Amino acid sequence: MDGVIIDSEPIHVKLEKEIIEEAGGDYAKLKPEDFMGTTDVQMWSTIKEQFGLKLSVEELINICRERFIQTIPQIPLVDNVLDFMAALRNNGYKLGLASSNNERAVETVRNQFGLDQYIEVFVNGEAVSKGKPDPEIFLTAAKLLGLQPEDCLVIEDSRNGVLAAKAAGMRCIGFQNKNSGRQDLSKADLIVTSFKNLTIEDIKNLLNEPL
Protein backbone atom coordinates (compact mmCIF):
# COMPACT_ATOMS: atom_id res chain seq x y z
CA MET A 1 0.00 0.00 0.00
CA ASP A 2 2.57 2.58 1.17
CA GLY A 3 4.65 3.75 -1.76
CA VAL A 4 2.71 1.67 -4.31
CA ILE A 5 -0.91 2.82 -3.93
CA ILE A 6 -0.48 5.89 -1.73
CA ASP A 7 2.62 8.10 -1.87
CA SER A 8 3.02 8.07 1.90
CA GLU A 9 6.70 7.38 2.58
CA PRO A 10 7.61 11.09 3.07
CA ILE A 11 4.90 11.34 5.73
CA HIS A 12 6.15 8.17 7.46
CA VAL A 13 9.69 9.54 7.53
CA LYS A 14 8.54 12.93 8.88
CA LEU A 15 6.41 11.39 11.65
CA GLU A 16 9.01 8.83 12.67
CA LYS A 17 11.70 11.54 12.90
CA GLU A 18 9.45 13.70 15.09
CA ILE A 19 8.52 10.87 17.43
CA ILE A 20 12.05 9.47 17.78
CA GLU A 21 13.50 12.89 18.57
CA GLU A 22 10.66 13.73 20.99
CA ALA A 23 11.41 10.45 22.79
CA GLY A 24 15.14 11.21 23.04
CA GLY A 25 16.58 9.28 20.08
CA ASP A 26 18.80 10.46 17.24
CA TYR A 27 17.05 9.99 13.92
CA ALA A 28 20.22 10.84 11.99
CA LYS A 29 21.71 7.51 13.11
CA LEU A 30 18.97 5.51 11.36
CA LYS A 31 18.47 4.41 7.77
CA PRO A 32 14.68 4.78 7.28
CA GLU A 33 14.77 2.71 4.09
CA ASP A 34 15.78 -0.33 6.19
CA PHE A 35 12.37 -0.26 7.89
CA MET A 36 10.22 0.10 4.78
CA GLY A 37 8.03 -2.97 4.40
CA THR A 38 8.49 -4.12 8.01
CA THR A 39 5.74 -4.14 10.65
CA ASP A 40 5.26 -1.47 13.31
CA VAL A 41 6.37 -3.88 16.04
CA GLN A 42 9.57 -4.81 14.18
CA MET A 43 10.48 -1.18 13.51
CA TRP A 44 9.71 0.35 16.90
CA SER A 45 11.21 -2.56 18.85
CA THR A 46 14.49 -2.03 17.00
CA ILE A 47 14.40 1.74 17.48
CA LYS A 48 13.51 1.50 21.19
CA GLU A 49 16.40 -0.88 21.81
CA GLN A 50 18.89 1.14 19.76
CA PHE A 51 18.24 4.39 21.60
CA GLY A 52 17.05 3.04 24.97
CA LEU A 53 13.78 4.96 24.70
CA LYS A 54 11.64 5.12 27.85
CA LEU A 55 8.31 4.87 26.02
CA SER A 56 7.08 1.31 25.46
CA VAL A 57 6.89 -0.17 21.97
CA GLU A 58 3.10 -0.08 22.26
CA GLU A 59 3.14 3.63 23.18
CA LEU A 60 5.45 4.48 20.29
CA ILE A 61 3.26 2.54 17.86
CA ASN A 62 0.07 4.19 19.07
CA ILE A 63 1.50 7.72 18.83
CA CYS A 64 2.74 7.07 15.29
CA ARG A 65 -0.53 5.45 14.19
CA GLU A 66 -2.67 8.30 15.45
CA ARG A 67 -0.54 10.93 13.74
CA PHE A 68 -0.40 8.97 10.49
CA ILE A 69 -4.16 8.39 10.34
CA GLN A 70 -4.73 12.12 10.88
CA THR A 71 -2.59 12.86 7.80
CA ILE A 72 -4.18 10.31 5.41
CA PRO A 73 -6.59 12.85 3.83
CA GLN A 74 -3.50 14.86 2.75
CA ILE A 75 -1.63 11.91 1.19
CA PRO A 76 -1.88 11.61 -2.60
CA LEU A 77 -2.39 8.42 -4.56
CA VAL A 78 0.54 7.22 -6.65
CA ASP A 79 0.11 8.54 -10.19
CA ASN A 80 -2.05 6.37 -12.46
CA VAL A 81 -2.44 3.57 -9.89
CA LEU A 82 -6.26 3.52 -10.01
CA ASP A 83 -6.28 3.35 -13.82
CA PHE A 84 -3.79 0.47 -13.66
CA MET A 85 -5.87 -1.43 -11.09
CA ALA A 86 -9.01 -0.87 -13.16
CA ALA A 87 -7.24 -2.29 -16.23
CA LEU A 88 -6.21 -5.37 -14.24
CA ARG A 89 -9.78 -5.94 -13.02
CA ASN A 90 -11.14 -5.45 -16.53
CA ASN A 91 -8.76 -8.16 -17.74
CA GLY A 92 -9.97 -10.66 -15.16
CA TYR A 93 -7.18 -10.43 -12.58
CA LYS A 94 -7.85 -10.76 -8.85
CA LEU A 95 -6.26 -8.04 -6.73
CA GLY A 96 -5.14 -8.30 -3.13
CA LEU A 97 -3.47 -5.74 -0.89
CA ALA A 98 -0.77 -7.04 1.49
CA SER A 99 0.46 -4.15 3.63
CA SER A 100 2.77 -4.15 6.64
CA ASN A 101 0.83 -1.13 7.89
CA ASN A 102 -1.66 -1.65 10.72
CA GLU A 103 -5.33 -2.58 10.29
CA ARG A 104 -6.74 0.84 11.14
CA ALA A 105 -4.47 2.61 8.64
CA VAL A 106 -5.27 0.09 5.90
CA GLU A 107 -9.01 0.41 6.53
CA THR A 108 -8.79 4.22 6.54
CA VAL A 109 -6.98 4.24 3.18
CA ARG A 110 -9.39 1.61 1.83
CA ASN A 111 -12.38 3.82 2.65
CA GLN A 112 -10.72 7.15 1.76
CA PHE A 113 -9.97 6.06 -1.81
CA GLY A 114 -12.76 3.55 -2.46
CA LEU A 115 -10.33 0.68 -2.98
CA ASP A 116 -13.06 -1.96 -2.61
CA GLN A 117 -14.02 -1.47 -6.24
CA TYR A 118 -10.58 -2.73 -7.30
CA ILE A 119 -9.28 -4.97 -4.51
CA GLU A 120 -10.88 -8.17 -3.21
CA VAL A 121 -8.62 -9.06 -0.29
CA PHE A 122 -6.94 -6.80 2.29
CA VAL A 123 -4.24 -8.15 4.60
CA ASN A 124 -2.48 -5.92 7.14
CA GLY A 125 0.62 -6.31 9.27
CA GLU A 126 -1.39 -7.20 12.37
CA ALA A 127 -2.84 -10.27 10.64
CA VAL A 128 0.55 -12.03 10.42
CA SER A 129 3.20 -13.00 12.95
CA LYS A 130 6.21 -12.16 10.78
CA GLY A 131 6.75 -9.05 8.68
CA LYS A 132 8.55 -8.67 5.37
CA PRO A 133 11.09 -9.91 4.25
CA ASP A 134 9.31 -13.01 5.57
CA PRO A 135 6.81 -14.20 2.92
CA GLU A 136 3.93 -14.84 5.35
CA ILE A 137 1.84 -11.81 4.39
CA PHE A 138 1.96 -12.62 0.66
CA LEU A 139 1.21 -16.30 1.22
CA THR A 140 -1.76 -15.28 3.40
CA ALA A 141 -3.11 -12.97 0.68
CA ALA A 142 -2.71 -15.67 -1.99
CA LYS A 143 -4.60 -18.18 0.15
CA LEU A 144 -7.45 -15.72 0.71
CA LEU A 145 -7.59 -15.07 -3.05
CA GLY A 146 -7.71 -18.81 -3.70
CA LEU A 147 -4.50 -18.75 -5.71
CA GLN A 148 -1.23 -20.68 -5.73
CA PRO A 149 1.90 -18.58 -5.08
CA GLU A 150 3.30 -19.36 -8.53
CA ASP A 151 0.19 -17.75 -10.08
CA CYS A 152 0.71 -14.49 -8.20
CA LEU A 153 2.57 -11.31 -9.09
CA VAL A 154 3.58 -8.77 -6.44
CA ILE A 155 4.26 -5.06 -6.97
CA GLU A 156 6.65 -3.71 -4.34
CA ASP A 157 8.60 -0.50 -3.74
CA SER A 158 10.86 -1.78 -0.95
CA ARG A 159 13.78 -4.19 -0.73
CA ASN A 160 12.10 -6.06 2.11
CA GLY A 161 8.93 -6.42 0.05
CA VAL A 162 10.76 -7.74 -3.02
CA LEU A 163 12.62 -10.29 -0.91
CA ALA A 164 9.34 -11.39 0.69
CA ALA A 165 7.68 -11.82 -2.70
CA LYS A 166 10.53 -13.93 -4.05
CA ALA A 167 10.64 -16.00 -0.85
CA ALA A 168 6.92 -16.68 -1.39
CA GLY A 169 7.70 -18.11 -4.83
CA MET A 170 5.95 -15.26 -6.63
CA ARG A 171 6.91 -13.05 -9.57
CA CYS A 172 7.67 -9.49 -8.55
CA ILE A 173 7.69 -6.05 -10.15
CA GLY A 174 9.88 -3.51 -8.38
CA PHE A 175 8.19 -0.10 -8.36
CA GLN A 176 10.91 2.52 -8.10
CA ASN A 177 9.17 5.28 -6.17
CA LYS A 178 11.53 8.24 -5.80
CA ASN A 179 10.03 8.91 -2.36
CA SER A 180 10.84 5.45 -1.00
CA GLY A 181 14.56 6.02 -0.64
CA ARG A 182 17.30 4.23 -2.52
CA GLN A 183 15.79 0.77 -2.32
CA ASP A 184 17.60 -2.24 -3.76
CA LEU A 185 14.97 -3.77 -6.06
CA SER A 186 17.47 -5.83 -8.05
CA LYS A 187 15.85 -9.18 -7.12
CA ALA A 188 12.60 -8.16 -8.86
CA ASP A 189 11.71 -9.69 -12.24
CA LEU A 190 11.00 -6.26 -13.72
CA ILE A 191 11.61 -2.72 -12.44
CA VAL A 192 9.41 0.23 -13.45
CA THR A 193 9.26 3.89 -12.44
CA SER A 194 5.64 4.58 -13.36
CA PHE A 195 2.37 2.73 -13.79
CA LYS A 196 2.15 4.47 -17.17
CA ASN A 197 5.05 2.24 -18.27
CA LEU A 198 3.40 -0.98 -17.09
CA THR A 199 1.05 -2.79 -19.48
CA ILE A 200 -1.23 -5.81 -19.32
CA GLU A 201 1.20 -7.44 -21.78
CA ASP A 202 3.97 -7.03 -19.20
CA ILE A 203 1.81 -8.79 -16.63
CA LYS A 204 0.98 -11.64 -19.00
CA ASN A 205 4.64 -12.09 -19.90
CA LEU A 206 5.72 -12.26 -16.28
CA LEU A 207 3.02 -14.80 -15.49
CA ASN A 208 3.80 -16.78 -18.66
CA GLU A 209 0.24 -16.30 -19.91
CA PRO A 210 -0.71 -16.25 -23.60
CA LEU A 211 -0.90 -12.75 -25.06
Q: CATH code at 140?
A: 3.40.50.1000
Q: Is the pLDDT of residue 16 over 90?
A: yes
Domain of 49, in residue numbers: 1-211
- Cross-strand bridge partners of residue 121: 96
Q: Is the pLDDT of residue 35 over 90?
A: no
Residue 103 CA, chain-centre distance (Å), reads 13
Q: Bigger pLDDT: 150 or 9?
A: 150
Query: What phi-psi label fits residue 203: left (phi over 0), alpha (psi between -120 and 50 degrees) or beta?
Result: alpha
pLDDT for the residue 38: 82
- 110-136 pLDDT per residue, tens: 999 999 999 999 999 999 999 899 999
pLDDT for the residue 28: 93
- Domains contained in the chain, number: 1
Mean of pLDDT values over 64-77: 94
Of the listed ranges 29-33, 81-85, 122-126, 146-150, the least confidently predicted one is 29-33
pTM (2 d.p.): 0.89
Mean pLDDT score across all residues of the chain? 94
Q: Is the pLDDT of residue 211 over 80?
A: no
- 138-196 pLDDT per residue, tens: 999 999 999 999 999 999 999 999 999 999 999 999 999 998 888 999 999 999 999 99
Mean of pLDDT values over 40-59: 94
Q: List Cβ neighbours of 66 (8 Å cut-off, separation of 6 or more).
A: none
Q: Bigger pLDDT: 119 or 31?
A: 119
**Percent residues over pLDDT 90 in the chain:** 88
3-state secondary structure the chain: CECCCECCHHHHHHHHHHHHHHCCCCHHHCCHHHHCCCCHHHHHHHHHHHHCCCCCHHHHHHHHHHHHHHHHHHCCECCCHHHHHHHHHHCCCCCEEECCCCHHHHHHHHHHCCHHHCCCEEECHHHCCCCCCCCHHHHHHHHHHCCCHHHCEEEECCHHHHHHHHHCCCEEEEECCHHHCCCCCCCCCEEECCHHHCCHHHHHHHCCCCC
Q: Is the pLDDT of residue 55 over 90?
A: yes
pLDDT for the residue 39: 82
Mean of pLDDT values over 11-35: 91
pLDDT for the residue 34: 80
Q: Is the pLDDT of residue 79 over 90?
A: yes
